[in-house]
């Protein structure tokens, strides 16, 4: 299908081994950064990189989990595929969490794992793991290379599959005798995947149906998910919303696909969304989902989700349509193409003035709220301060927990590709390496990492990479001396029995930072925050800020588990 023209790549060496073919294939795929960790089964590949004098940059992390979350962060903010290399056995198994995370959140990754030599596969050889078996359910596709000559084709095909349609992780398992083996000098990377032809153009009849439904609607709502950002369709979404004055709810992963400070923005919907967003969905007569997969953290109890609404769903993956929510108007398409078709069509706008007034009144009456903490820092206020100090333009990567929700609620994202968080899998340990990957992908932008004191300890060793490359990531540990999100649920739903959720003997994070050669600052009073922020945002290097907040802080409002989107608690004080 796609025979990439043989372009002349200036490689330093002949294409003598399988590993050389791989290097050329990566150069052909325009790979600029590789996130990796060496080991026996990938030694030929590491040697080839060295011999070819690194035609792309290789960044050594301190744990394979770090490499893959960094690749995810890189992919999120650049839109390019993240490339990972790890060795066989334990190297490969250390990637499992990250691969699953990328699969859940539709991130394009191409992952290379070493494998034992073909002659011993299946014998429980040293550092052998059944990587194909392990990763089949968590990859969009995976390969084990059987012949050296197949390498260029497989690599080219893998990049195609990872980055087109609904993006996802693709893994290539390379036995050591393949990477070390001699080639006959041939390089053919043409491929065919007849079973894989994503639909990108919307069916005009479905678009007309959607347009008709819109013109008859009195209470329309747009739900914008990560698919809008993936499709680079933020401008089209904004134009569409403005043209017909349609209010917009974002999913957690859709934040930034529509400007958070736009008057038509209702904020995030779902478990920790705004009252206005959730009630808009509850009362809507037409819900147009663009690139969101109706995750249960968004929908709450299904029977209370958009009970009055006709549902339209624009998604590039047909299997997402009708999976969780009955859908009257399915539109299988790339979000950008569908939005362009809607923008270009003739359509009488809906008569929704009253609706907008009602939503506006809700916004005024039920905004997100918080109280100032007496002694320590209030986390919501802290996020607002970080927003101000970074002019709302920073790339923000979070870990998982309360701090993640506060960041989502209070850092009003106005631009796409600036928000990195683990949504579907909710992977603690994600935030620090993801921020590092983002900074590597966008060296000129400000990158902020907002972490919990629990999650940071899962991948804290990657501070070494920040120091190695002098990456000016600003790390904020929102330190409540607890596994806050778990503690909050125990307080609310388990009779305040804090079973294994308090971290009363945390390490000294400043000393840890220092140990890695990184500046550390501790701040525990609100009055000191502005000066600290001014200091670190004018400092061109990595920094770790240990921000002390009360362990009693909670994320509100919220939908309790099993409840409907109309049953939020903590909407007001």
Partner 1 sequence: MKRIITCTVQDRGGVLNRITGMFYKRQFNIESITVGVSEIEGLSKMTFVVEISDDQKLEQLTKQLNKQIDVIKVSDITDKAIVARELALVKVNAGNQSRAEIQGIITPFRGTVIDVSKDTLTIQVTGKSDKVDALISLLKPYGIKEISRTGVTALLRGQQSSQQVVEVNSFPV
Ligand X SMILES: Cc1cc2nc3c(=O)[nH]c(=O)nc-3n(C[C@H](O)[C@H](O)[C@H](O)COP(=O)(O)OP(=O)(O)OC[C@H]3O[C@@H](n4cnc5c(N)ncnc54)[C@H](O)[C@@H]3O)c2cc1C
**Least distance in angstroms from the C-beta of 133 to partner 1:** 7
Asked if 451 contacts 480 with a C-beta cutoff of 8 angstroms, the reply is no
Q: How far apart are the first and last CA of the chain?
A: 60
Using a 10 angstrom Cβ sphere, with 0-12 exposed, 13-18 middle and 19 or more buried, the burial of residue 249 is: buried
Task: Name the residues that contact partner 1, by CB under 8 A.
Answer: 132-133, 136-137, 140-142, 144, 146, 161, 193-196, 317-319, 322-323, 326
Letters for 134-173 (x = contact with ligand X by CB under 6 A, - = none) are: --------------------------------x-------
Cβ 307 to partner 1, closest distance in Å?
A: 17
How far apart are the C-alpha atoms of 200 and 113, rounded to whole Å?
31
Stretch of residues binding ligand TPP (CB under 6 A), selected from 120-128, 343-351, 422-430, 536-544: 422-430
Q: Which does residue 402 bind out of ligand TPP, partner 1, ligand X, none, counting CB within 5 to 8 angstroms by kind?
A: ligand TPP
User: Which residue number, 51 or 297, has a Cβ lying nearer to ligand X?
Assistant: 297
Name which of 340, 284, 278 is nearest 312 in CA terms: 284
Among 45, 428, 440, 559, binds ligand TPP (CB under 6 A): 428
Which of residues 259, 273, 452, 520 is near ligand X by CB under 6 A? 273
- Residue 335 in the binding site for ligand X (CB under 6 A): yes
- Which pair of structure tokens corresponds to residue 282? 């509850």
Instruction: Collect all residues with Cβ–Cβ distance below 8 Å to 143 and sequence separation of at least 6.
Output: 154, 158, 170, 171, 172, 173
Q: Closest CB to ligand X among 231 and 309?
A: 231
Which partner in partner 1, ligand X, ligand TPP, none is near 428 (CB below 5 to 8 A by kind)? ligand TPP
Query: Which ranges constitute the DSSP H helices of 352-474?
Result: 353-365, 379-389, 402-410, 431-441, 463-468
The three-state secondary structure class of 40 is helix
Q: Which of 39, 202, 225, 256: binder of ligand X (CB under 6 A)?
A: 225
Strand partners, 289: 223, 313
Nearer to ligand TPP, 109 or 428 (CB): 428
Q: How far is the CB of 403 from ligand TPP (least distance, A)?
A: 4
User: Is 106 one of the binding residues for ligand X (CB under 6 A)?
Assistant: yes
Binding partner of residue 334 among partner 1, ligand TPP, ligand X, none, CB cut-off 5 to 8 Å per kind: ligand X
- Nearest-angstrom CA–CA distance, 370 and 357: 25
**Among 102, 130, 104, 100, CA closest to 115:** 130
Which residues 485-504 are close enough to bind ligand TPP by CB under 6 A? 485-486
The DSSP result for 543-560, as a single string, is EEEEEEB-TT----SBPP
**In the complex, least distance from residue 321 CB atom to partner 1, rounded to whole angstroms:** 8
User: Distance between CA atoms of 433 and 64, rounded to whole angstroms?
Assistant: 10
- SS (HEC) of 294-320: CCHHHHCCHHHCCCCCEEEEEECCHHH
Q: Which residues are catalytic?
A: 64, 126-127, 176, 485
Round to whole Å and give the CA distance between 271 and 221: 18
Question: If residue 224 lies in a helix (H) or strand (E), which one and from where to where?
Answer: strand 220-224
Residue 202 C-beta: closest distance to partner 1, Å? 17
Site membership for ligand X, residue 424 (CB under 6 A): yes
Quick one: how far is CA 46 from the chain centroid? 28
Indicate the DSSP class of residue 350. P
Among 113, 251, 278, 380, binds ligand X (CB under 6 A): 251
Question: Nearest distance from residue 194's CB to partner 1, in Å?
Answer: 6
Alpha carbon separation from 367 to 238, 252, 570 (Å, rounded): 23, 18, 11
Between CA 145 and CA 152, with CA 151 as vertex, the angle to 5 degrees is 155
Answer with the entry of partner 1, ligand X, ligand TPP, none that 141 interacts with (C-beta below 5 to 8 A by kind).
Answer: partner 1
Q: Is 568 in the site for ligand X (CB under 6 A)?
A: no
Please name the residues in contact with 293: beta carbons below 8 A apart, sequence gap of 6 or more: 225, 315, 317, 320, 323, 324
Minimum CB distance to ligand X smaller for 179 or for 409: 409
73 binds ligand X (CB under 6 A): no
Q: Is 400 in the site for ligand TPP (CB under 6 A)?
A: yes
Judged by CB under 6 A, the residue of 45, 478, 521, 547 near ligand TPP is: 478
136 binds, among ligand X, partner 1, ligand TPP, none (CB under 5 to 8 A by kind): partner 1
Using CB under 6 A, list all residues that contact ligand X.
Answer: 105-106, 166, 225-227, 230-231, 251-254, 268-273, 291-293, 295, 297-298, 315-317, 320, 334-335, 400, 404, 423-424, 426, 485
């Amino acid at each position: 299908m796609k025979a990439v023209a043989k372009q002349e790549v200036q490689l330093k060496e002949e294409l003598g081994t399988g590993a050389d073919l791989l290097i050329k294939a990566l150069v052909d795929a325009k790979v600029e950064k590789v996130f990796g960790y060496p080991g026996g089964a990938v030694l030929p590949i590491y040697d080839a990189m060295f011999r070819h004098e690194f035609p792309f940059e290789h960044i050594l992390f301190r744990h394979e989990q770090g490499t893959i979350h960094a690749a995810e962060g890189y992919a999120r903010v650049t839109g390019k595929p993240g490339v990972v290399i790890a060795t066989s056995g334990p190297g490969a198994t250390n990637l499992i969490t990250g691969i699953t995370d990328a699969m859940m959140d539709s991130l394009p990754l191409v992952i290379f794992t070493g494998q034992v030599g073909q002659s011993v596969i299946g014998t429980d050889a040293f550092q052998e793991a059944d990587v194909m078996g392990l990763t089949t359910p968590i990859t969009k596709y995976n390969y084990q290379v059987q012949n050296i000559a197949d390498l260029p084709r497989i690599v080219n095909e893998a990049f195609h599959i990872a980055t087109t349609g609904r993006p996802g992780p693709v893994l290539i398992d390379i036995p050591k005798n393949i990477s070390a083996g001699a080639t006959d000098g041939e390089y053919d990377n043409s491929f065919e995947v007849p079973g894989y032809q994503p639909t990108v153009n919307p069916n005009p009849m479905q678009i007309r149906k959607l347009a008709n439904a819109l013109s008859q609607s009195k209470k329309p709502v747009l739900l914008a998910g990560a698919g809008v950002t993936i499709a680079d369709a933020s401008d089209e979404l904004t134009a569409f919303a403005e043209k017909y004055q349609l209010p917009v709810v974002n999913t957690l992963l859709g934040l930034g696909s529509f400007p958070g400070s736009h008057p038509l923005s209702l904020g995030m919907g779902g478990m920790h969304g705004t009252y206005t967003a959730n009630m808009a969905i509850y009362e809507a007569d037409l819900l147009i989902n663009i690139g969101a997969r109706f995750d249960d953290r968004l929908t709450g109890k299904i029977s209370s989700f958009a009970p009055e609404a006709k549902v339209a769903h624009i998604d590039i993956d047909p299997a997402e349509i009708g999976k969780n929510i009955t859908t009257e108007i399915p539109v299988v398409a790339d979000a950008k193409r569908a939005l362009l078709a809607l923008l270009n069509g003739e359509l009488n706008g809906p008569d929704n003035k009253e609706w907008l007034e009602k939503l506006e009144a809700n916004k005024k009456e039920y905004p997100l709220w918080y109280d100032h903490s007496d002694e320590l820092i209030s986390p919501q206020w802290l996020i607002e301060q970080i927003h101000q100090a970074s002019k709302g333009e920073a790339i923000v990567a979070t870990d998982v927990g309360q701090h993640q929700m506060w960041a989502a609620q209070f850092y009003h994202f106005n631009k796409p590709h600036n928000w990195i968080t683990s949504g579907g899998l909710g992977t603690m340990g994600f935030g620090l390496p993801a921020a590092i990957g983002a900074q590597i992908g966008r060296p000129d932008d400000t990158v902020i990492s907002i972490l919990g004191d629990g999650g940071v300890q899962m991948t804290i060793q990657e501070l070494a990479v920040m120091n190695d490359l002098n990456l000016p990531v600003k790390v904020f540990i929102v330190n409540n001396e607890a596994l806050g999100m778990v503690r909050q649920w125990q307080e609310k739903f388990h009779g305040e029995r804090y079973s294994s959720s308090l971290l009363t003997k945390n390490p000294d994070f400043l000393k840890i930072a220092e140990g890695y050669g990184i500046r550390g600052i501790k701040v525990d009073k609100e009055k000191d925050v502005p000066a600290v922020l001014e200091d670190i945002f004018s400092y061109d290097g990595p920094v770790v800020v240990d921000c002390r907040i009360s362990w009693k802080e909670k994320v509100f409002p919220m939908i309790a588990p099993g409840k409907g989107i109309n049953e939020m608690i903590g909407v007001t004080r």
